[in-house]
C-alpha cells in the first residue's frame, strides 16, 4: 500500500487550524511511515517536512519572534495524538517544540535567526552540560561531544550544553558554574551514529561533535537564571515541567493505541486449545477493563494538572509549588501507568505480540525506553512524598 503523501505546499497555513487538528491530519502519514521510521532510525524527510510545515516544531516559540506560542494544554493534546500514531515521531516533536521555549530568553534577532529565518528549523540538544565554551572576544569557542540529542539528523542547529571557561577555569555566576546552551549550525557539527536501541529507534537520538567552533554570545542562552525577553504565559512554567507533561502524554497515547490494537486482534484471534475468540476469554475482558480504568484515570490526572498550572500561570504570572509538584507527579505517573497498561496488553496477546515488526511488539519496546527517561524516574514519587510531608526537596527538578 502506498503511503499517504505529505500535505501540498498550497495547503492552508498552520495558523488556520489548531495543533491538535494538525496532528490528527498528519496521523495517517505518520502511521504509514512507521516501518520506515523504525528501520532508518529517523523521521523520513517528507514526514519531517510535513510536521515542520504544520508549525508543530514551533509550538514553544514566542509569537513575537514568529512562533506558535501554543498554550501548554493544547501542546499536550497534540503530542498525545501523535503518540497514538508513533511514539518516536511524537517524542521528536515534543523535544524540538519544548526546547524551542529557550528562544524566549534569547536576543530576539538571534532567536529569529535560529528558529524562524532558517527554513523548517529544529534545534536538537543534549541534557548534560559536559561541553566547553571558552570565552573569546565577542563570544565563545565551543568544543563538545554530547549524546541523547533527539532529532539531530533532521535538525538545523545543535545546542551544545556547555560550561563556560574563562582563564582556564569554570566561570562562576551567582556562586555556581555558568552553564549555557550554544547554538551551532548543524553543518559545523558531526553527527555520530550511536542510537542503537530496541525501542524509540526513530527518534535518532545520536551523539554530535563540535570542534572549536565560534559562537557569538547573542546566539547562546543561560540555562538557569536568564530573564525572559519574549513571550507570555507559557514561559511562566519551567521547561522541565513542560517536558514532563508532553512525555507523559506521549506515553498515554502509546497505551491508547496499544489497547485499540488489542481490540482488533481480540476479535480476530482464536487462541490455541481454547474455545472462542480471544475477546471471549474472561482474562482478556478483565485485562481490558483494568487497562481502560488505569489509562483513563492517569490521563485525567495529567490533564487536570496541566490545566491547573496553566490557569494559575494565566491568572498570576507565576506558578505555586503545589501546581508544580502535582504536574511533576502526574507526568511521571502517566509514564508508569502507560507502561503497566502496555505490559498487560502484551501479555494478553500471547504469541501474537512477539514478532518483530508487529505494532504491539513495537509499542512494548517503545514504552520501556520511555520509562528509562529522566521524566519517568521512580525517584519523583519520593520527591513528591517528601514535599507532601514537609521535608526539604530539590526544587531544581520542579
How does pLDDT run across 49-99, given as a tens digit for each residue? 999 999 999 999 999 999 999 999 999 999 999 999 999 999 999 999 999
Q: What is the pLDDT of residues 375-389, one digit of tens each?
A: 999 999 999 999 999
pTM of the model: 0.93
pLDDT score recorded for residue 329: 97
Q: What is the pLDDT of residues 294-324, one digit of tens each?
A: 999 999 999 999 999 999 999 999 999 999 9
pLDDT range class, residue 396, cuts 50, 70, 90: confident
- The radius of gyration of the chain from alpha carbons, rounded to an integer in Å, stands at 22
Alpha-carbon span 62 to 229, nearest angstrom: 10
pLDDT score recorded for residue 148: 96
- Work out the angle at residue 76's Cα, subtended by the Cα atoms of residues 373 and 101, and round it to the nearest 5 degrees: 75
C-beta separation of 149 from 156 below 8 A = no
Torsion (CA) 49, 54, 58, 62 in degrees, nearest 10: 150
| pLDDT (mean) for 333-349 | 96
pLDDT score recorded for residue 398: 87
> Can you tell me whether residue 302 is helix, strand or coil?
helix
pLDDT score recorded for residue 395: 87
pLDDT range class, residue 390, cuts 50, 70, 90: very high
Q: What is the DSSP letter of 395?
A: G
Q: How far is CA 173 from CA 43, 81, 143, 223, 229, in A?
A: 39, 41, 21, 12, 19
Rounded to a whole number, what is the distance in angstroms from the first to the last CA of the chain?
A: 46
Alpha-carbon span 110 to 98, nearest angstrom: 18
Maximum Cα interatomic distance, the chain, rounded to a whole number of Å: 78
| pLDDT (mean) for 208-235 | 94
Cell numbers at 5, concatenated: 503523501
DSSP calls for 210-269: EEEEEEEGGGEEESSSPPP-S--GGGGS-HHHHHHHHHHHHHHHHHHHHHHHHHHHHTT-
pLDDT range class, residue 278, cuts 50, 70, 90: confident
pLDDT score recorded for residue 11: 37
Q: Is the pLDDT of residue 234 over 70?
A: yes
Which residues lie across from 158 on neighbouring strands? 124, 184
Q: Is the pLDDT of residue 233 over 50?
A: yes
145 CB contacts (<8 Å, ≥6 apart)? 130, 131, 192, 207, 208, 209, 210
At what angle are helices 239-266 and 72-85 packed, to 10 degrees?
A: 40
Mean pLDDT of the chain: 93
pLDDT score recorded for residue 378: 94
Residue 41: HSE in the Cβ half-sphere, 13 Å Cα cutoff: 14
Cell numbers at 188, concatenated: 559545523
Q: How far is CA 8 from CA 20, 54, 237, 310, 349, in A?
A: 19, 11, 35, 34, 39
Q: What is the pLDDT of residues 134-147, one digit of tens each?
A: 999 999 999 999 99
Amino acid at each position: 500500500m502506498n503511503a499517504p503523501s505529505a500535505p501540498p505546499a498550497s495547503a492552508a497555513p498552520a495558523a488556520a487550524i489548531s495543533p491538535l487538528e494538525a496532528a490528527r491530519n498528519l496521523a495517517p502519514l505518520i502511521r504509514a511511515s512507521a516501518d520506515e521510521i523504525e528501520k532508518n532510525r529517523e523521521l523520513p524527510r517528507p514526514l519531517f517536512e510535513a510536521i515542520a510545515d504544520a508549525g508543530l516544531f514551533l509550538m514553544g516559540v514566542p509569537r513575537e519572534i514568529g512562533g506558535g506560542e501554543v498554550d501548554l494544554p493544547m501542546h499536550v493534546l497534540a503530542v498525545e495524538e501523535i503518540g497514538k500514531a508513533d511514539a518516536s515521531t511524537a517524542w521528536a516533536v515534543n523535544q524540538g517544540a519544548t526546547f524551542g521555549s529557550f528562544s524566549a530568553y534569547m536576543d530576539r534577532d538571534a532567536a529569529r535567526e535560529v528558529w524562524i529565518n532558517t527554513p523548517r528549523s529544529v534545534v536538537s540538544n543534549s541534557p548534560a552540560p559536559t561541553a566547553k565554551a571558552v570565552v573569546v572576544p565577542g563570544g565563545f569557542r565551543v568544543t563538545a561531544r554530547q549524546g541523547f540529542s533527539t532529532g539531530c539528523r533532521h535538525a538545523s542547529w545543535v545546542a551544545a550544553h556547555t560550561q563556560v571557561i574563562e582563564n582556564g577555569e569554570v566561570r562562576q555566576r551567582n556562586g555556581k558554574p555558568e552553564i549555557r546552551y550554544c547554538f551551532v549550525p548543524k553543518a559545523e557539527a558531526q553527527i555520530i551514529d550511536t542510537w542503537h536501541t530496541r525501542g524509540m529507534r526513530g527518534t535518532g537520538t545520536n551523539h554530535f561533535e563540535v570542534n572549536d567552533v565560534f559562537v557569538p554570545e547573542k546566539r547562546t542562552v543561560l540555562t538557569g537564571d536568564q530573564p525572559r525577553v519574549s513571550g507570555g504565559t507559557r514561559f511562566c512554567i519551567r521547561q522541565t515541567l513542560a517536558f514532563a507533561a508532553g512525555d507523559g502524554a506521549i506515553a498515554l497515547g502509546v497505551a491508547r493505541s496499544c489497547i485499540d490494537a488489542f481490540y482488533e486482534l481480540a476479535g480476530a484471534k482464536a487462541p490455541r486449545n481454547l474455545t472462542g475468540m480471544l475477546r471471549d476469554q474472561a482474562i482478556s475482558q478483565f485485562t481490558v477493563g483494568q487497562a481502560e480504568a488505569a489509562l483513563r484515570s492517569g490521563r485525567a490526572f495529567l490533564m487536570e494538572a496541566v490545566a491547573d498550572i496553566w490557569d494559575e500561570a494565566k491568572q498570576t504570572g507565576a506558578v505555586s509549588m503545589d501546581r508544580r509538584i502535582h504536574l511533576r507527579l502526574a507526568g511521571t505517573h502517566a509514564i508508569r501507568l502507560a507502561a503497566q497498561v502496555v505490559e498487560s496488553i502484551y501479555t494478553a496477546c500471547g504469541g501474537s505480540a512477539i514478532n518483530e515488526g508487529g505494532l504491539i511488539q513495537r509499542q512494548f519496546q517503545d514504552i520501556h525506553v520511555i520509562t528509562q527517561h529522566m521524566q519517568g524516574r521512580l525517584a519523583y514519587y519520593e520527591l513528591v512524598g517528601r514535599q507532601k510531608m514537609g521535608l526539604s526537596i530539590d526544587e531544581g527538578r520542579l
